[in-house]
Amino acid sequence: MTLIPEFQAHRVFVEPWTTELGSHGLMALVTFLVGATCGLIGNFLILRRMALVGDAISHSVLPGIALAFLITGSRGIGAMVLGAMVAAWLTHGLIELISRHSRLKQDAAIGIAFSTLFAIGVVLIAVFADKVDLDQDCVLNGELPMIPLEPPVRLGGWVLGPPPLLRLVGVLVVSLVLLVTFYKELLITSFDPGLAACLGIRVGAIHHGLMLWLAMVVVASFEAVGAILVIALLILPGATASLLTDRMVPRLAWTTVHAALSAISGMHLSVALDCSPAGATVVAGAGWFCVVWLFSPTEGLIPRAWCLRRGSVDSRLRSPELRQHNESP
Amino acid sequence: MSLETGNPANVPPLEIHDLTVAYRNKPVLWGIDLVAPAGKLIGIVGPNGAGKSTLIKACMGLLPCSSGWVTAFGRPVTQSLKRVGYVPQRESVDWDFPVSVMDVVLMGRYGRIGLFKRPSPEDRRIARDCLEQVQMLPFAERQISNLSGGQQQRVFLARALAQESDLYFMDEPFTGVDAATESAIIALLQGLRSRGKTILVVHHDLPTARTYFDWLLLLNMRVVAFGPTEEVFTPDLLQKTYGGRLTILSEVAEAVRGQGTLT
Protein backbone atom coordinates (compact mmCIF):
# COMPACT_ATOMS: atom_id res chain seq x y z
CA MET A 1 0.00 0.00 0.00
CA THR A 2 1.40 3.36 -0.96
CA LEU A 3 1.21 6.37 1.31
CA ILE A 4 -0.10 8.68 -1.40
CA PRO A 5 -2.60 7.23 -3.84
CA GLU A 6 -1.48 6.89 -7.42
CA PHE A 7 -2.22 10.03 -9.42
CA GLN A 8 -4.92 9.51 -11.99
CA ALA A 9 -5.58 12.69 -13.94
CA HIS A 10 -9.01 11.62 -15.14
CA ARG A 11 -10.19 10.68 -11.66
CA VAL A 12 -8.77 13.82 -10.08
CA PHE A 13 -9.67 16.46 -12.65
CA VAL A 14 -12.59 15.20 -14.72
CA GLU A 15 -14.73 12.92 -12.56
CA PRO A 16 -15.53 15.49 -9.84
CA TRP A 17 -17.18 17.54 -12.58
CA THR A 18 -18.97 14.67 -14.32
CA THR A 19 -19.89 11.37 -12.68
CA GLU A 20 -19.01 12.51 -9.15
CA LEU A 21 -20.67 15.91 -9.42
CA GLY A 22 -23.40 14.85 -7.00
CA SER A 23 -20.90 14.07 -4.25
CA HIS A 24 -17.60 15.88 -4.81
CA GLY A 25 -19.18 18.77 -6.66
CA LEU A 26 -21.78 19.16 -3.94
CA MET A 27 -19.10 19.12 -1.24
CA ALA A 28 -17.17 21.81 -3.11
CA LEU A 29 -20.34 23.89 -3.29
CA VAL A 30 -20.76 23.51 0.46
CA THR A 31 -17.16 24.52 1.20
CA PHE A 32 -17.53 27.48 -1.16
CA LEU A 33 -20.68 28.64 0.66
CA VAL A 34 -18.93 28.26 4.03
CA GLY A 35 -15.81 30.07 2.77
CA ALA A 36 -17.77 32.93 1.21
CA THR A 37 -20.05 33.46 4.21
CA CYS A 38 -17.24 33.19 6.75
CA GLY A 39 -14.97 35.30 4.56
CA LEU A 40 -17.42 38.21 4.32
CA ILE A 41 -17.85 38.56 8.08
CA GLY A 42 -14.18 37.61 8.55
CA ASN A 43 -13.12 40.79 6.76
CA PHE A 44 -14.68 42.85 9.52
CA LEU A 45 -13.13 40.64 12.21
CA ILE A 46 -9.71 41.25 10.64
CA LEU A 47 -10.26 45.00 10.42
CA ARG A 48 -11.37 45.10 14.06
CA ARG A 49 -8.41 42.94 15.13
CA MET A 50 -10.83 40.37 16.42
CA ALA A 51 -9.68 37.38 14.35
CA LEU A 52 -9.29 35.24 17.45
CA VAL A 53 -12.79 36.00 18.69
CA GLY A 54 -13.99 33.87 15.77
CA ASP A 55 -11.73 31.07 16.98
CA ALA A 56 -13.14 31.39 20.49
CA ILE A 57 -16.74 31.32 19.34
CA SER A 58 -16.18 28.30 17.10
CA HIS A 59 -14.76 26.34 20.04
CA SER A 60 -17.55 27.26 22.43
CA VAL A 61 -19.98 25.58 20.06
CA LEU A 62 -19.13 22.22 21.66
CA PRO A 63 -20.44 22.89 25.20
CA GLY A 64 -23.42 24.70 23.69
CA ILE A 65 -24.44 21.68 21.69
CA ALA A 66 -23.76 19.30 24.57
CA LEU A 67 -25.89 21.39 26.93
CA ALA A 68 -28.68 21.79 24.41
CA PHE A 69 -28.74 18.03 24.03
CA LEU A 70 -28.76 17.42 27.79
CA ILE A 71 -31.58 19.88 28.34
CA THR A 72 -33.85 19.07 25.42
CA GLY A 73 -32.78 15.49 24.82
CA SER A 74 -33.20 16.04 21.11
CA ARG A 75 -30.63 16.09 18.41
CA GLY A 76 -32.83 18.27 16.25
CA ILE A 77 -31.08 21.06 14.43
CA GLY A 78 -33.16 23.75 16.17
CA ALA A 79 -31.98 22.85 19.67
CA MET A 80 -28.38 22.47 18.49
CA VAL A 81 -28.32 25.84 16.80
CA LEU A 82 -29.95 27.53 19.77
CA GLY A 83 -27.48 25.93 22.20
CA ALA A 84 -24.53 26.90 20.06
CA MET A 85 -25.76 30.47 19.65
CA VAL A 86 -26.23 30.83 23.40
CA ALA A 87 -22.73 29.44 24.01
CA ALA A 88 -21.25 31.75 21.39
CA TRP A 89 -22.99 34.68 23.01
CA LEU A 90 -21.70 33.58 26.43
CA THR A 91 -18.13 33.37 25.12
CA HIS A 92 -18.36 36.86 23.73
CA GLY A 93 -19.84 38.13 27.00
CA LEU A 94 -17.19 36.38 29.05
CA ILE A 95 -14.39 37.88 26.94
CA GLU A 96 -15.85 41.38 27.40
CA LEU A 97 -16.37 40.79 31.12
CA ILE A 98 -12.80 39.65 31.75
CA SER A 99 -11.09 42.26 29.59
CA ARG A 100 -13.22 45.09 30.96
CA HIS A 101 -13.13 44.26 34.66
CA SER A 102 -9.54 43.16 35.06
CA ARG A 103 -6.08 44.19 34.02
CA LEU A 104 -6.02 41.47 31.38
CA LYS A 105 -6.00 42.46 27.75
CA GLN A 106 -8.40 41.01 25.22
CA ASP A 107 -6.06 38.30 23.92
CA ALA A 108 -5.60 36.83 27.39
CA ALA A 109 -9.35 37.09 28.02
CA ILE A 110 -10.02 35.17 24.79
CA GLY A 111 -7.55 32.48 25.87
CA ILE A 112 -9.36 32.03 29.18
CA ALA A 113 -12.90 32.21 27.89
CA PHE A 114 -12.81 29.80 24.99
CA SER A 115 -10.57 27.15 26.50
CA THR A 116 -12.73 27.11 29.63
CA LEU A 117 -15.96 26.71 27.72
CA PHE A 118 -14.40 24.15 25.40
CA ALA A 119 -13.15 22.16 28.41
CA ILE A 120 -16.61 22.30 29.96
CA GLY A 121 -17.91 20.82 26.73
CA VAL A 122 -15.36 18.00 26.83
CA VAL A 123 -16.18 17.27 30.48
CA LEU A 124 -19.93 17.34 29.85
CA ILE A 125 -19.66 14.86 27.01
CA ALA A 126 -17.35 12.60 29.04
CA VAL A 127 -19.50 12.67 32.20
CA PHE A 128 -22.78 12.17 30.41
CA ALA A 129 -21.31 9.86 27.78
CA ASP A 130 -24.10 7.34 28.28
CA LYS A 131 -26.79 10.01 27.91
CA VAL A 132 -25.16 12.17 25.26
CA ASP A 133 -25.12 10.40 21.97
CA LEU A 134 -22.91 13.03 20.39
CA ASP A 135 -20.06 12.43 18.04
CA GLN A 136 -17.33 14.72 19.29
CA ASP A 137 -15.42 14.25 16.05
CA CYS A 138 -18.37 15.47 14.07
CA VAL A 139 -18.51 18.73 16.03
CA LEU A 140 -14.77 19.29 15.77
CA ASN A 141 -14.04 18.09 12.26
CA GLY A 142 -17.37 18.31 10.50
CA GLU A 143 -19.09 15.68 8.48
CA LEU A 144 -18.72 17.03 4.99
CA PRO A 145 -18.81 13.59 3.24
CA MET A 146 -22.13 12.87 4.97
CA ILE A 147 -23.89 15.87 3.46
CA PRO A 148 -24.39 14.44 -0.07
CA LEU A 149 -25.89 11.32 1.54
CA GLU A 150 -28.66 13.19 3.34
CA PRO A 151 -32.05 12.95 1.66
CA PRO A 152 -32.58 16.13 -0.37
CA VAL A 153 -35.39 18.53 0.34
CA ARG A 154 -38.06 18.47 -2.35
CA LEU A 155 -40.41 21.31 -3.14
CA GLY A 156 -43.10 20.35 -5.61
CA GLY A 157 -41.30 18.60 -8.42
CA TRP A 158 -37.97 20.28 -7.66
CA VAL A 159 -35.05 18.69 -5.86
CA LEU A 160 -33.51 21.52 -3.88
CA GLY A 161 -30.62 19.74 -2.20
CA PRO A 162 -29.68 18.39 1.21
CA PRO A 163 -30.79 20.46 4.25
CA PRO A 164 -27.28 21.62 5.32
CA LEU A 165 -26.73 23.06 1.83
CA LEU A 166 -30.00 24.97 2.01
CA ARG A 167 -29.17 26.25 5.48
CA LEU A 168 -25.84 27.55 4.19
CA VAL A 169 -27.50 29.26 1.24
CA GLY A 170 -29.93 30.85 3.70
CA VAL A 171 -27.11 32.07 5.96
CA LEU A 172 -25.20 33.47 2.97
CA VAL A 173 -28.30 35.37 1.82
CA VAL A 174 -28.91 36.70 5.34
CA SER A 175 -25.24 37.71 5.57
CA LEU A 176 -25.41 39.58 2.28
CA VAL A 177 -28.56 41.40 3.38
CA LEU A 178 -26.94 42.37 6.70
CA LEU A 179 -23.79 43.48 4.92
CA VAL A 180 -25.63 45.72 2.46
CA THR A 181 -28.00 47.11 5.10
CA PHE A 182 -25.39 47.91 7.75
CA TYR A 183 -22.33 48.45 5.54
CA LYS A 184 -22.00 52.11 6.55
CA GLU A 185 -22.27 51.34 10.27
CA LEU A 186 -19.92 48.34 10.09
CA LEU A 187 -17.37 50.43 8.22
CA ILE A 188 -17.31 53.41 10.55
CA THR A 189 -17.43 51.43 13.80
CA SER A 190 -14.47 49.39 12.55
CA PHE A 191 -12.47 52.39 11.38
CA ASP A 192 -13.15 54.99 14.06
CA PRO A 193 -15.46 53.87 16.88
CA GLY A 194 -14.88 57.17 18.71
CA LEU A 195 -16.24 59.24 15.84
CA ALA A 196 -19.05 56.74 15.27
CA ALA A 197 -20.20 57.22 18.87
CA CYS A 198 -20.04 60.99 18.42
CA LEU A 199 -22.24 60.75 15.34
CA GLY A 200 -24.88 58.97 17.39
CA ILE A 201 -24.21 55.52 15.90
CA ARG A 202 -24.69 52.84 18.54
CA VAL A 203 -21.25 51.28 18.52
CA GLY A 204 -22.10 48.74 21.22
CA ALA A 205 -25.22 47.55 19.44
CA ILE A 206 -23.33 47.11 16.17
CA HIS A 207 -20.63 45.15 18.01
CA HIS A 208 -23.13 42.83 19.68
CA GLY A 209 -24.99 42.42 16.42
CA LEU A 210 -21.76 41.46 14.67
CA MET A 211 -21.11 38.83 17.36
CA LEU A 212 -24.60 37.39 16.95
CA TRP A 213 -24.11 37.29 13.19
CA LEU A 214 -20.75 35.58 13.71
CA ALA A 215 -22.36 33.01 15.99
CA MET A 216 -24.96 32.25 13.32
CA VAL A 217 -22.31 31.88 10.61
CA VAL A 218 -20.12 29.64 12.76
CA VAL A 219 -23.01 27.42 13.81
CA ALA A 220 -24.17 26.99 10.23
CA SER A 221 -20.62 26.21 9.11
CA PHE A 222 -19.40 23.81 11.75
CA GLU A 223 -21.43 20.82 10.60
CA ALA A 224 -19.75 21.13 7.21
CA VAL A 225 -16.15 21.82 8.12
CA GLY A 226 -16.08 21.40 11.90
CA ALA A 227 -15.47 23.88 14.65
CA ILE A 228 -11.71 23.85 14.23
CA LEU A 229 -11.47 24.63 10.54
CA VAL A 230 -14.08 27.40 10.65
CA ILE A 231 -11.45 29.79 11.96
CA ALA A 232 -9.30 29.21 8.86
CA LEU A 233 -12.21 30.02 6.58
CA LEU A 234 -13.08 33.10 8.64
CA ILE A 235 -9.63 34.57 8.20
CA LEU A 236 -7.95 33.16 5.07
CA PRO A 237 -10.26 34.60 2.37
CA GLY A 238 -10.27 38.11 3.86
CA ALA A 239 -6.55 38.05 4.61
CA THR A 240 -5.77 37.00 1.03
CA ALA A 241 -8.07 39.68 -0.37
CA SER A 242 -6.41 42.33 1.79
CA LEU A 243 -3.14 41.67 -0.05
CA LEU A 244 -4.78 42.22 -3.43
CA THR A 245 -6.63 45.50 -3.00
CA ASP A 246 -6.82 48.47 -0.65
CA ARG A 247 -10.54 49.17 -1.09
CA MET A 248 -13.39 47.57 0.78
CA VAL A 249 -15.77 46.53 -1.99
CA PRO A 250 -13.10 44.91 -4.23
CA ARG A 251 -11.81 43.28 -1.08
CA LEU A 252 -15.17 41.64 -0.44
CA ALA A 253 -15.25 40.52 -4.08
CA TRP A 254 -11.75 38.98 -3.87
CA THR A 255 -12.83 37.26 -0.66
CA THR A 256 -15.52 35.44 -2.61
CA VAL A 257 -13.09 34.59 -5.40
CA HIS A 258 -10.68 33.12 -2.86
CA ALA A 259 -13.49 31.06 -1.33
CA ALA A 260 -14.41 29.69 -4.76
CA LEU A 261 -10.83 28.88 -5.76
CA SER A 262 -10.16 27.20 -2.41
CA ALA A 263 -13.33 25.11 -2.69
CA ILE A 264 -12.53 23.90 -6.22
CA SER A 265 -8.83 23.25 -5.70
CA GLY A 266 -9.62 21.69 -2.33
CA MET A 267 -12.00 19.31 -4.02
CA HIS A 268 -9.35 18.18 -6.52
CA LEU A 269 -6.78 17.88 -3.75
CA SER A 270 -9.04 15.74 -1.59
CA VAL A 271 -9.77 13.41 -4.54
CA ALA A 272 -6.08 13.16 -5.44
CA LEU A 273 -4.94 12.45 -1.88
CA ASP A 274 -8.13 10.68 -0.84
CA CYS A 275 -8.33 12.85 2.28
CA SER A 276 -10.89 14.92 4.20
CA PRO A 277 -12.37 17.50 1.82
CA ALA A 278 -12.67 20.11 4.57
CA GLY A 279 -8.99 19.79 5.46
CA ALA A 280 -8.02 19.84 1.79
CA THR A 281 -10.03 23.02 1.25
CA VAL A 282 -8.24 24.82 4.07
CA VAL A 283 -4.85 23.60 2.81
CA ALA A 284 -5.74 24.83 -0.67
CA GLY A 285 -6.93 28.16 0.76
CA ALA A 286 -3.65 28.57 2.63
CA GLY A 287 -1.84 27.72 -0.60
CA TRP A 288 -3.69 30.50 -2.44
CA PHE A 289 -2.84 32.86 0.40
CA CYS A 290 0.86 32.02 -0.02
CA VAL A 291 0.67 32.52 -3.78
CA VAL A 292 -0.89 35.96 -3.31
CA TRP A 293 1.52 36.85 -0.51
CA LEU A 294 4.43 36.11 -2.83
CA PHE A 295 3.10 37.46 -6.12
CA SER A 296 0.47 40.12 -5.44
CA PRO A 297 1.31 43.05 -7.76
CA THR A 298 1.01 45.65 -4.99
CA GLU A 299 1.82 43.83 -1.76
CA GLY A 300 3.63 40.67 -2.91
CA LEU A 301 7.05 39.88 -1.48
CA ILE A 302 8.59 39.17 -4.88
CA PRO A 303 7.32 42.23 -6.82
CA ARG A 304 8.40 44.42 -3.90
CA ALA A 305 11.86 42.86 -3.68
CA TRP A 306 12.13 43.29 -7.46
CA CYS A 307 11.28 47.00 -7.17
CA LEU A 308 13.87 47.50 -4.43
CA ARG A 309 16.56 45.77 -6.46
CA ARG A 310 15.88 48.00 -9.41
CA GLY A 311 16.39 50.92 -7.08
CA SER A 312 13.00 52.38 -7.76
CA VAL A 313 11.05 53.87 -4.89
CA ASP A 314 7.64 52.82 -3.78
CA SER A 315 5.25 53.64 -6.63
CA ARG A 316 3.14 55.91 -4.43
CA LEU A 317 6.14 58.15 -3.78
CA ARG A 318 6.54 58.63 -7.49
CA SER A 319 3.12 60.10 -8.04
CA PRO A 320 3.29 63.76 -9.06
CA GLU A 321 1.09 65.24 -6.30
CA LEU A 322 2.98 63.59 -3.49
CA ARG A 323 6.34 64.49 -4.92
CA GLN A 324 5.19 68.05 -5.15
CA HIS A 325 3.97 67.85 -1.57
CA ASN A 326 7.24 66.39 -0.31
CA GLU A 327 9.24 69.06 -2.02
CA SER A 328 7.13 71.91 -0.70
CA PRO A 329 8.65 73.59 2.37
CA MET B 1 -33.79 82.77 16.36
CA SER B 2 -35.86 81.19 19.10
CA LEU B 3 -34.48 79.53 22.17
CA GLU B 4 -35.61 76.08 21.01
CA THR B 5 -33.27 76.16 18.06
CA GLY B 6 -30.43 77.24 20.31
CA ASN B 7 -29.90 80.97 20.25
CA PRO B 8 -26.10 81.26 20.53
CA ALA B 9 -26.37 84.54 22.40
CA ASN B 10 -28.27 83.03 25.31
CA VAL B 11 -27.38 79.36 25.39
CA PRO B 12 -23.66 78.65 25.79
CA PRO B 13 -22.32 76.17 23.22
CA LEU B 14 -20.63 74.23 26.01
CA GLU B 15 -21.21 74.16 29.73
CA ILE B 16 -19.30 71.85 32.05
CA HIS B 17 -20.35 71.55 35.67
CA ASP B 18 -18.33 69.84 38.42
CA LEU B 19 -16.95 67.23 36.01
CA THR B 20 -14.77 64.53 37.57
CA VAL B 21 -13.29 61.68 35.56
CA ALA B 22 -11.31 58.78 37.02
CA TYR B 23 -9.35 55.88 35.57
CA ARG B 24 -9.29 52.90 37.94
CA ASN B 25 -10.32 55.06 40.90
CA LYS B 26 -7.50 57.50 40.20
CA PRO B 27 -8.95 60.88 39.33
CA VAL B 28 -7.67 62.41 36.11
CA LEU B 29 -9.93 65.45 36.12
CA TRP B 30 -11.28 67.12 39.25
CA GLY B 31 -14.33 69.35 39.51
CA ILE B 32 -14.11 71.01 36.11
CA ASP B 33 -16.44 73.98 35.85
CA LEU B 34 -16.62 76.18 32.80
CA VAL B 35 -18.92 77.91 30.37
CA ALA B 36 -17.45 78.33 26.91
CA PRO B 37 -18.40 81.49 24.99
CA ALA B 38 -19.81 81.19 21.49
CA GLY B 39 -17.78 82.01 18.40
CA LYS B 40 -14.37 81.62 20.01
CA LEU B 41 -11.28 79.62 19.16
CA ILE B 42 -10.32 78.07 22.49
CA GLY B 43 -6.99 76.38 23.19
CA ILE B 44 -6.64 73.72 25.88
CA VAL B 45 -3.06 73.68 27.18
CA GLY B 46 -1.34 71.97 30.08
CA PRO B 47 1.47 69.52 30.81
CA ASN B 48 1.45 65.85 29.79
CA GLY B 49 -1.06 63.92 31.85
CA ALA B 50 -3.05 67.04 32.65
CA GLY B 51 -6.18 65.39 31.26
CA LYS B 52 -6.55 67.46 28.08
CA SER B 53 -7.66 64.60 25.82
CA THR B 54 -9.63 63.09 28.69
CA LEU B 55 -11.56 66.32 29.02
CA ILE B 56 -12.75 66.39 25.43
CA LYS B 57 -13.48 62.65 25.40
CA ALA B 58 -15.54 63.08 28.56
CA CYS B 59 -17.35 66.04 26.98
CA MET B 60 -18.22 63.87 23.96
CA GLY B 61 -19.52 61.14 26.26
CA LEU B 62 -16.78 58.72 25.19
CA LEU B 63 -15.63 58.25 28.79
CA PRO B 64 -17.78 57.69 31.85
CA CYS B 65 -17.84 60.62 34.26
CA SER B 66 -17.64 59.98 38.00
CA SER B 67 -19.67 63.11 38.66
CA GLY B 68 -20.88 66.29 37.05
CA TRP B 69 -22.54 66.98 33.72
CA VAL B 70 -21.79 68.49 30.33
CA THR B 71 -24.28 70.25 28.09
CA ALA B 72 -23.93 71.47 24.53
CA PHE B 73 -26.36 74.21 23.51
CA GLY B 74 -28.33 73.68 26.69
CA ARG B 75 -28.93 69.95 26.23
CA PRO B 76 -26.93 66.88 27.23
CA VAL B 77 -24.23 66.27 24.63
CA THR B 78 -25.72 62.89 23.64
CA GLN B 79 -28.90 64.76 22.60
CA SER B 80 -27.17 67.42 20.56
CA LEU B 81 -24.64 65.23 18.76
CA LYS B 82 -25.64 66.65 15.37
CA ARG B 83 -24.28 70.02 16.44
CA VAL B 84 -21.00 68.66 17.85
CA GLY B 85 -18.02 67.68 15.71
CA TYR B 86 -14.99 65.70 16.80
CA VAL B 87 -11.46 65.34 15.43
CA PRO B 88 -9.67 62.51 17.29
CA GLN B 89 -5.90 62.18 17.44
CA ARG B 90 -4.51 61.09 14.12
CA GLU B 91 -2.86 58.01 15.64
CA SER B 92 -6.18 56.76 16.99
CA VAL B 93 -7.15 55.05 13.74
CA ASP B 94 -5.60 52.42 11.45
CA TRP B 95 -4.47 54.25 8.31
CA ASP B 96 -4.11 50.94 6.43
CA PHE B 97 -7.89 50.65 6.52
CA PRO B 98 -9.23 49.86 3.02
CA VAL B 99 -11.04 53.14 2.38
CA SER B 100 -10.38 56.18 0.20
CA VAL B 101 -10.02 59.79 1.31
CA MET B 102 -13.56 60.41 0.00
CA ASP B 103 -14.95 57.51 2.06
CA VAL B 104 -13.41 58.95 5.24
CA VAL B 105 -14.84 62.41 4.62
CA LEU B 106 -18.25 60.91 3.85
CA MET B 107 -18.15 59.28 7.30
CA GLY B 108 -18.62 62.79 8.69
CA ARG B 109 -22.06 62.73 7.05
CA TYR B 110 -23.12 59.35 8.50
CA GLY B 111 -24.81 60.96 11.51
CA ARG B 112 -27.13 62.84 9.15
CA ILE B 113 -27.67 60.09 6.58
CA GLY B 114 -29.43 57.77 9.04
CA LEU B 115 -29.84 54.01 9.16
CA PHE B 116 -30.39 51.93 5.98
CA LYS B 117 -29.47 54.80 3.66
CA ARG B 118 -26.42 55.51 1.54
CA PRO B 119 -24.65 58.82 1.03
CA SER B 120 -26.67 60.94 -1.44
CA PRO B 121 -25.21 63.05 -4.27
CA GLU B 122 -25.74 66.03 -1.95
CA ASP B 123 -23.57 64.35 0.73
CA ARG B 124 -20.88 63.75 -1.89
CA ARG B 125 -21.06 67.35 -3.02
CA ILE B 126 -20.57 68.54 0.57
CA ALA B 127 -17.69 66.10 1.08
CA ARG B 128 -15.98 67.33 -2.10
CA ASP B 129 -16.51 70.89 -0.95
CA CYS B 130 -14.88 70.14 2.42
CA LEU B 131 -11.94 68.44 0.69
CA GLU B 132 -11.55 71.50 -1.49
CA GLN B 133 -11.38 73.70 1.62
CA VAL B 134 -8.41 71.72 2.96
CA GLN B 135 -6.84 71.51 -0.53
CA MET B 136 -7.15 67.74 -0.64
CA LEU B 137 -9.63 67.34 -3.51
CA PRO B 138 -7.01 65.90 -5.91
CA PHE B 139 -6.49 63.08 -3.42
CA ALA B 140 -10.19 62.14 -3.09
CA GLU B 141 -9.84 58.67 -4.59
CA ARG B 142 -6.50 57.91 -2.92
CA GLN B 143 -6.31 55.15 -0.32
CA ILE B 144 -5.59 56.74 3.06
CA SER B 145 -2.28 55.03 3.85
CA ASN B 146 -0.72 56.74 0.83
CA LEU B 147 -0.83 60.12 2.58
CA SER B 148 1.68 62.11 4.59
CA GLY B 149 0.94 63.04 8.21
CA GLY B 150 -0.15 66.54 7.29
CA GLN B 151 -2.44 65.22 4.57
CA GLN B 152 -4.01 62.73 6.98
CA GLN B 153 -4.72 65.56 9.39
CA ARG B 154 -6.34 67.58 6.61
CA VAL B 155 -8.57 64.62 5.77
CA PHE B 156 -9.67 64.43 9.40
CA LEU B 157 -10.38 68.13 9.33
CA ALA B 158 -12.40 67.81 6.11
CA ARG B 159 -14.39 65.03 7.78
CA ALA B 160 -15.12 67.33 10.73
CA LEU B 161 -16.21 70.10 8.33
CA ALA B 162 -18.55 67.62 6.65
CA GLN B 163 -20.27 67.14 10.01
CA GLU B 164 -21.45 70.77 9.69
CA SER B 165 -21.42 71.22 13.47
CA ASP B 166 -21.55 74.36 15.59
CA LEU B 167 -19.18 73.13 18.30
CA TYR B 168 -15.93 71.30 17.54
CA PHE B 169 -13.54 69.33 19.72
CA MET B 170 -10.09 68.74 18.20
CA ASP B 171 -7.45 66.57 19.81
CA GLU B 172 -3.98 67.83 18.91
CA PRO B 173 -4.59 68.62 15.24
CA PHE B 174 -1.15 70.25 14.96
CA THR B 175 0.88 67.24 16.08
CA GLY B 176 3.22 65.84 13.45
CA VAL B 177 2.12 68.10 10.61
CA ASP B 178 4.28 70.25 8.36
CA ALA B 179 4.34 74.05 8.62
CA ALA B 180 2.20 74.49 5.52
CA THR B 181 -0.53 72.28 6.96
CA GLU B 182 -0.32 74.01 10.32
CA SER B 183 -0.98 77.43 8.82
CA ALA B 184 -3.69 75.99 6.56
CA ILE B 185 -5.42 74.45 9.57
CA ILE B 186 -5.26 77.62 11.64
CA ALA B 187 -6.67 79.66 8.75
CA LEU B 188 -9.50 77.17 8.45
CA LEU B 189 -10.24 77.28 12.19
CA GLN B 190 -10.31 81.08 12.07
CA GLY B 191 -12.74 80.84 9.16
CA LEU B 192 -15.01 78.57 11.22
CA ARG B 193 -14.86 80.95 14.17
CA SER B 194 -15.81 83.91 12.01
CA ARG B 195 -18.94 81.95 11.01
CA GLY B 196 -19.87 81.76 14.71
CA LYS B 197 -18.65 78.25 15.48
CA THR B 198 -16.99 77.41 18.77
CA ILE B 199 -13.81 75.33 18.58
CA LEU B 200 -11.91 73.70 21.43
CA VAL B 201 -8.42 72.57 20.47
CA VAL B 202 -6.02 70.50 22.56
CA HIS B 203 -2.64 72.10 21.91
CA HIS B 204 0.91 71.27 22.92
CA ASP B 205 3.03 74.20 21.88
CA LEU B 206 2.95 77.16 24.28
CA PRO B 207 4.51 79.91 22.12
CA THR B 208 2.01 79.37 19.28
CA ALA B 209 -0.88 78.93 21.71
CA ARG B 210 -0.69 82.63 22.46
CA THR B 211 -1.06 83.68 18.85
CA TYR B 212 -3.51 81.00 17.69
CA PHE B 213 -6.30 81.16 20.28
CA ASP B 214 -8.79 83.80 21.46
CA TRP B 215 -9.32 82.05 24.75
CA LEU B 216 -7.17 79.62 26.69
CA LEU B 217 -8.03 76.88 29.15
CA LEU B 218 -5.02 76.20 31.38
CA LEU B 219 -5.56 72.68 32.62
CA ASN B 220 -3.76 70.50 35.10
CA MET B 221 -6.30 68.04 36.48
CA ARG B 222 -8.25 71.13 37.55
CA VAL B 223 -9.00 74.32 35.70
CA VAL B 224 -6.09 76.60 36.56
CA ALA B 225 -7.48 79.45 34.50
CA PHE B 226 -10.00 79.96 31.72
CA GLY B 227 -10.37 83.25 29.95
CA PRO B 228 -9.26 85.50 27.08
CA THR B 229 -5.67 84.74 26.07
CA GLU B 230 -4.32 88.18 27.03
CA GLU B 231 -5.68 87.77 30.57
CA VAL B 232 -4.68 84.17 31.10
CA PHE B 233 -1.30 83.90 29.39
CA THR B 234 0.70 85.22 32.34
CA PRO B 235 3.89 83.84 33.94
CA ASP B 236 2.09 83.25 37.24
CA LEU B 237 -0.75 81.22 35.78
CA LEU B 238 1.49 79.30 33.39
CA GLN B 239 3.80 78.43 36.25
CA LYS B 240 0.82 77.26 38.27
CA THR B 241 -0.23 75.07 35.35
CA TYR B 242 3.13 73.56 34.52
CA GLY B 243 4.56 73.42 38.05
CA GLY B 244 8.29 73.67 38.54
CA ARG B 245 9.41 71.98 35.36
CA LEU B 246 12.52 73.81 34.25
CA THR B 247 12.41 73.25 30.53
CA ILE B 248 8.81 74.24 30.41
CA LEU B 249 9.48 77.27 32.57
CA SER B 250 12.16 78.61 30.27
CA GLU B 251 9.77 78.03 27.41
CA VAL B 252 7.16 79.99 29.30
CA ALA B 253 9.63 82.76 30.04
CA GLU B 254 10.52 82.97 26.38
CA ALA B 255 6.91 82.98 25.31
CA VAL B 256 6.02 85.69 27.77
CA ARG B 257 9.08 87.76 26.87
CA GLY B 258 7.99 87.57 23.25
CA GLN B 259 4.69 88.99 24.37
CA GLY B 260 6.42 91.98 25.99
CA THR B 261 3.72 94.07 27.52
CA LEU B 262 2.45 91.60 30.09
CA THR B 263 5.74 91.04 31.95
Annotated domain spans of chain B: 14-259
- Tell me, what CATH number does A250's domain have? 1.10.3470.10
Whole-prediction pTM value? 0.85
Q: Are B102 and B159 in contact (CB under 8 A)?
A: no
Q: What pLDDT does B263 receive? A: 39
Say if the Cβ atoms of B81 and A188 lie within 8 Å: no
Domain assignment present for A3: no
| Chain A residue whose CA is closest to B151 | A325
Residues of B with CB under 8 A from a CB of A: 57, 60-62, 78, 81-82, 84-86, 88, 92-94, 96-100, 103-104, 107-108, 110-111, 113, 115-116, 118-119, 138-139, 143, 145-146, 148, 150-151, 159, 163, 178-180
Mean pLDDT in order along chain A per 10 residues (329 residues): 73 84 89 95 93 84 82 76 82 88 88 88 80 67 82 82 89 96 95 91 91 87 81 93 94 96 94 88 96 90 82 51 46
Q: Give the residue from B109, B129, B105, B127 showing the smallest Cα distance to B118.
A: B109
Fold designation for B14-259: Rossmann fold (3.40.50)
Residue A66 structural domain: 28-324
Asked whether residue A275 is domain-assigned, the answer is yes
**CB-neighbour burial class of residue A137 (10 A; exposed 0-12, middle 13-18, buried 19+):** exposed
| A298 part of a folded domain | yes
Closest-CA distance of chain A to residue B121, Å:
16
Q: What is the dihedral of CA A310, A311, A315, A321, to 10 degrees?
A: -140
Position B212 pLDDT exceeds 90: yes
Exposure string (b/e) for B93-118, b if CB count within 10 Å is 16 or more?
A: bebebbbbbbbbbbbbbbbbbeeeee
Number of domain units in chain A? 1
A141 Cα distance to chain centroid: 14
Query: pLDDT averaged over chain B?
Result: 88
User: What is the predicted pLDDT for the residue at A136?
Assistant: 67
Of A194, A316, A328, the CB nearest to B92: A194
Q: What's at A38, amino acid-wise?
A: C
Residue B110: closest C-alpha in chain A:
A199
